[in-house]
């Protein structure tokens, strides 16, 4: 039997995989109407964790591999139908390995229907030395829907030899169903910039976009204050075109950042759904 090279092998050109998830509201709760998940993606059964909002479906998206590798091109397609309530998160942080001049690309296409609630809240990526990761997200959100979208990263050098990651970049495009652009956000940072103090002594960074009608948004000051109590340094402001709120978060490490993102999810969930949500155990 011939052995195949591991995903991290120099002989591997990277993986191309897609995951498609469609959530509908039926019978008083949200359920997965369709799922197609290719390796390395993996999902378990859905969970209904909130007594006050029993229709809210929480799904953990897992990785069946050891993280993201050079040449990986992964795409996640999420569709949340009218009046559904869906929360997609990860089971843990995802390690990003050396990019080997080809890097890794994670794409997301999200559609949120009228009256729906959708939260895509991944744990921070962990950038190993040489990691080169690009996140590219496009979301279409109905006028009265809610989208909570969070992504970020933490830096980790296992040998503590001062070796930086290569690059992290993110692009987010938020549109209305008629194609009108609400928000376009782009950012990038190189590892040597962080090593040279571009973010002070902080080693973890995240962005949050919260698209919602005004009556389903949290108070800006409360939003930031609760995240800061987790040990983070955050700043929130209104999003362009009256779309909602945006937040940037800095943290000294990945664990602190993960706690700040979790707190932000609960603040946003309380404002959007009118109830305190249960803790998502991992």
Q: Is residue 11 part of a domain?
A: no
- Per-residue pLDDT of 209-252, as tens digits, reads 999 999 999 999 999 999 999 999 999 999 999 999 999 999 99
208, part of any domain: no
In a domain, 9, yes or no: no
Give the pLDDT confidence of 122-152 residue by residue, as tens digits. Answer: 999 999 999 999 999 999 999 999 999 999 9
Task: Return the percentage of the chain with pLDDT > 70, whole number.
Answer: 95
> What is the extent of the structural domain holding 29?
16-200
- Report how many domains make up the chain: 1
> Residue 15: which residues within 8 A CB-CB, separation 6 or more?
7, 39, 40, 65, 69, 71, 72, 73, 74
Strand partners, 74: 17, 106
Tokens, residue 278: 């249960």
Residue 168 domain flag:
yes
Provide the pLDDT confidence category of residue 110 given band limits of 50, 70 and 90.
very high
Whole-model pTM? 0.93
CB 151 within 8 A of CB 122: yes
CB-based contact 196:185 (threshold 8 Å): no
- Supply the pLDDT for residue 12: 54
Q: How far apart are CA 43 and CA 20, in angstroms?
A: 11
- Measured at the alpha carbon of residue 209, what is the angle toward residues 218 and 110, in degrees to the nearest 5? 120
Average pLDDT, the chain: 94
Quick check: is 265 in a domain? no
140: in domain: yes
In a domain, 98, yes or no: yes
Query: Cα(86)–Cα(30) distance, rounded to whole angstroms?
Result: 7
Output DSSP code: residue 127: E
Query: Max CA-CA distance within the chain?
Result: 62
Residue 197 region, left (φ>0) first, then alpha (ψ -120 to 50), else beta?
left
pLDDT of residue 66: 86
The mean pLDDT of 153-159, rounded to a whole number, is 95
In a domain, 216, yes or no: no
Asked if pLDDT for residue 53 goes beyond 70, the answer is: yes
């Amino acid at each position: 039997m011939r052995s195949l090279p591991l995903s991290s092998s120099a002989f591997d050109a990277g993986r191309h995989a897609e995951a498609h998830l469609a959530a509908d509201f039926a019978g008083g709760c949200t359920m997965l109407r369709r799922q197609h998940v290719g390796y390395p993606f993996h999902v378990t059964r859905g969970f209904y964790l909130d007594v006050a909002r029993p229709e809210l479906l929480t799904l953990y998206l897992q990785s069946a591999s050891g993280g993201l590798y050079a040449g990986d091109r992964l795409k996640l397609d999420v569709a949340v139908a009218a009046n559904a309530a869906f929360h997609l998160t990860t089971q843990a942080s995802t390690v990003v390995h050396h990019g080997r001049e080809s890097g890794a690309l994670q794409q997301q296409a999200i559609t949120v229907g009228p009256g729906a609630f959708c939260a895509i809240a991944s744990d921070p990526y962990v950038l190993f030395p040489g990691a080169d990761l690009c996140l590219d997200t496009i979301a279409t959100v109905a006028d009265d829907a809610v989208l909570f979208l969070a992504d970020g990263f933490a830096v980790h050098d296992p040998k503590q030899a001062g070796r930086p990651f290569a690059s992290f970049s993110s692009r987010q495009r938020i549109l209305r169903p008629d194609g009108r652009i609400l928000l376009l956000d782009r950012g990038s940072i190189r590892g040597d910039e962080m090593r040279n103090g571009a973010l002070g002594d902080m080693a973890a960074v995240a962005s949050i976009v919260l698209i919602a009608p005004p009556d389903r948004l949290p108070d800006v000051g409360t939003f930031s204050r609760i995240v800061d109590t987790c040990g983070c340094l955050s700043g929130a402001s209104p999003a362009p075109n009256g779309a909602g709120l945006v937040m940037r978060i800095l943290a000294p490490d990945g664990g602190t950042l993960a706690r700040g993102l979790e707190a932000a999810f609960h603040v946003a969930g309380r404002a959007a759904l009118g109830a305190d949500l249960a803790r998502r155990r991992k």
